[in-house]
Amino acid sequence: MSAAAAGAARRARTGRAGTAAALLAVASVVALRLWAVEPLVVVSDSMEPTLPEGGLVLLLRSGSPEGRAVPGSLVVFADPGDGHSTVKRVVAAGGQTVAIEDSVLVVDGTPVDEPFVDHSRIDGTWFGPVAVPPGHVFVLGDNRSPSVDSRDYGSVPASAVEATVLLPPGP
């Protein structure tokens, strides 16, 4: 085989390998988008200042719903009132007791440090205590005053959690 023919054969193999690699990369991105990571635009101010209204977050949809719904995590689920995707923070899990005492979150009788909550905006807020049923989570918006959350519609089944927020990260 001549040097020119050998070079042409190498280029053809390289071209096929490059095309295959490109197709694999595209398929991986599509699969990741469909089954694991998804963008979401925040449509309310209930999670401010953590997630500003109009901001973009990335959601992780992999793993079991119960594994995603741990206290402190930002989760997405269908709002029980209107069915739209909503983002809230899990503050307690099944078996725990939740209260808000003069704007301070209290879980199992212990005040919770929440540096992401502007307490000056929720001064004088009282709620509970309520027990979170097994297999459920109690969710609150970081911007407590306008937030419609578990104080309004009760605990959310952990199995209803569709995703966790990846970016921006929680505290």
Q: Which residues are catalytic?
A: 46, 88
The long-range contacts involving 31-37, CB below 8 angstroms and separated by at least 24 positions, are 35/61, 35/62, 36/60, 36/61, 36/62, 37/61, 37/166
